[in-house]
Chains A and B, each alone.
Chain A
């Protein structure tokens, strides 16, 4: 049996026995074979002794059982690591941030407690996946949409707590922002409800977010201050129709005014669907077509185009621009989508075109006009999550295909937040491509476009492969950390990362001698004096392990 560091075998055996009493013997896992199922399937430490691994796992089915587990852990000073569905692949998976922790596997807590159509909200447990919630809604023919990430088998709660994003409209794409009300088992085993849920017999727990007094929900995301056992989410009423169109521009210099116009239109809610920026001339797809490119191959590119790209600097040369104009290949292409009554979204699309018409030569095309709801069986004709339908097509990234004969063993997401300007897109490409070249990293090898999950900023989301070769993985890990630091030097930071990189990322958030990290530690010491809850998650270490930071 594996042991957490600093815990005697007698104490560990006693804790395991008490876990078994709490949840039933079949839901406590201690054999190597069973505990290995909690390894991070995308670990960048594949085949290396430093891989983060659990000592055991325990799978409660109720909030009361979670409370018992936490109290037992306090008694024996056992580090715990809660996971919801364990599908946070690319950001750490189901493995703990601190080797030897006991994983608290919440998958069995899989109740959809309520979906309220009239007020468009859901209340769920952590084991509920996006597929589960979607099917619950479909089977009852409820007229609400979920907003799901890609892939869709992750936890609704887990994704929100890791501050993930989705693809429908701006109000719902930020999954933490669209939550309303939490129930949390604190590190001492006490039960807490936030927002209006703090009122006994609350009537508006999922309808008013902040309650009264300090609004503390944020501290339970990307942290280790408790185990969230229930969480409410606002849902989008099922729209009547969907329209998707493209704005195509032919000059390199159009990038900055294109972004500025997009920002105005989105912030004014003239467009609210997921904006998707591509550069056909640079061979960079919109996110919504990445899977299609993986499945059926990228568009063919003739040699002249390929040669011009190879000699372009930061995605530009006058010759490349001239070639694009001559060949009718847009430099930039913005995909806009609209959800709502047909007459409303047609008017929004018209208004968007009027604004973009200020850019010389802007061309417009309607790609889809769909009356909703669509037949779910036909959703795969689209990028499903943009229509609120979960899928696993995202696994085409890295999987074997005619265009990728050598599949990877997973990937780690490099995902810095940068300003929502055209200048920032070019500057980030300049900085990261130079750094990646120097570090021999397979990132920013051509001009990259950012994503628009969040309303007021851009985010680059680039996969760094995990391979079978430890030496390659080591180079990528070290390079990854250096890229994080390079970003920090330019005022950019990651939005989320795997435990292996959490210290590097949080070190970038260092204003006033790491005041933010020190505040996290103050909270940690107050809330979790025994340091049993997810030690090290997002670089928040309990006092007795804090030297690991240096």
Chain B
């Protein structure tokens, strides 16, 4: 999700929250019970550093590049991959590929990279 899209969703959620609070407490209770997003930290890193090139759409050069490279064998959109290994994510972030540069630890710390790798490989079977 792009930063812009995320801001839109946040705005929408806040409005929805206010309406719910006025109508029903049960709704609020259900929200509080919702499990926390296990990938929240990884999503933040993705949104800041990856989304501008890898979000869906032709205006994202990373998505275009992957679409052409994999010719339908894998999705062009990184978020849709189902076999991305955490180690691959970590390697590419620290080494770069093609015109994508590597990222320093002052940009993406080891802990943030760990979270990003988990998020991007969330659809990958672990066995």
Which A residues are closer than 8 A to B by beta carbons? 27, 29, 33-34, 36-39, 41-42, 57, 59, 85-87, 89, 93-94, 105, 107-108, 127, 131, 135, 138-139, 153, 291, 294-296, 376-377, 379-380, 391-393, 395-402, 405, 407-411
Q: What is the minimal beta-carbon distance from B109 to any residue of chain A, in angstroms?
A: 9
Interface presence of B62 (CB below 8 A): yes
Q: How long is the Cα–Cα vector from A186 to B64 in the complex, in angstroms? A: 45
In the complex with contacts A377-B5, A407-B65, A59-B106 CB distance below 8 A:
yes
Q: In the complex, are the beta carbons of B99 and A410 less than 8 A apart?
A: yes
Given contacts A41-B96, A396-B64, A407-B65, contact A296 B58 (CB under 8 A): yes
B126 at interface by CB-CB < 8 Å: no
A93 contacts B101, CB within 8 Å? yes
Q: How far is the CA of A94 from the CA of B59 in the complex (A)?
A: 26
Q: Is the CB of B64 within 8 A of A86?
A: no
B69 at the binding interface (Cβ < 8 Å) = yes
Bound CA–CA A108/B105 (angstroms): 10
**Cβ contacts B85-108/A at 8 Å (1 or 0 each):** 000000000101011111111110
Please name 26 pairs of A and B residues whose Cβ atoms are closer than 8 Å in the assembled complex, sorted by A: A27-B106, A37-B104, A41-B100, A41-B101, A57-B104, A86-B104, A94-B104, A105-B104, A107-B104, A131-B3, A131-B52, A153-B52, A294-B61, A377-B2, A377-B5, A379-B4, A392-B53, A395-B99, A400-B64, A400-B68, A400-B98, A401-B68, A402-B64, A402-B68, A405-B68, A407-B99
Q: Judge whether A407 and B98 touch: CB under 8 Å.
A: yes
Shortest beta-carbon distance from B4 to chain A in Å: 4
Chain A residues within 8 Å of B127, by CB: none
A residues less than 8 Å from B7 (CB atoms): 138-139, 376
Question: Which of A85, A93, A127, A377 lies at the interface centre, i.e. has the most chain B CB atoms within 10 A of its CB?
Answer: A377
Residues on B lying within 8 angstroms of A by beta carbon are 2-5, 7-8, 48, 52-53, 57-62, 64-65, 68-69, 94, 96, 98-107
Which residues from chain A contact B8 at a C-beta distance below 8 Å? 377
Shortest Cβ distance from B104 into A: residue: A37
**Is there an interface contact between B106 and A295, defined as CB atoms closer than 8 Å?**
no
Among A37, A380, A407, contact of B105 (Cβ-Cβ < 8 Å): A37
Partner of A392, one of B5, B61, B106: B61
Closest to B57 in A: A380
Q: Which of chain B's residues have a CB closer than 8 A to the CB of A108?
A: 106
B102 partner, pick from A39, A107, A127, A291, beta carbons under 8 A: A39
Q: How far is the CA of A85 from the CA of B98 in the complex (A)?
A: 20
Question: By the criterion CB–CB under 8 Å, are A135 and B53 in contact?
Answer: no
Q: Which of chain A's residues have a CB closer than 8 A to the CB of B2?
A: 377
CA distance A224 to B52 in the complex (A): 33
Name which of A105, A135, A395 has the most chain B CB atoms within 10 A of its CB.
A395
From A39, A396, A405, name the one whose CB has the most chain B CB atoms within 10 angstroms. Answer: A396
Question: Quick check: A401 and B104 within 8 Å, CB to CB?
Answer: no
B17 CB to nearest chain A CB (Å): 18
Known: A399-B61, A399-B64, A411-B99. 14 other contacts (CB 8 A): A34-B105, A36-B102, A41-B101, A41-B102, A86-B104, A107-B107, A153-B52, A291-B59, A296-B58, A379-B4, A398-B99, A399-B62, A402-B68, A409-B98
Residues in chain A near residue B100, CB distance under 8 A: 41, 395
In the bound complex, how far is the Cα of B96 from the Cα of A39, in angstroms?
Answer: 11
Chain B nearest CB, measured from A286 CB (Å) = 17
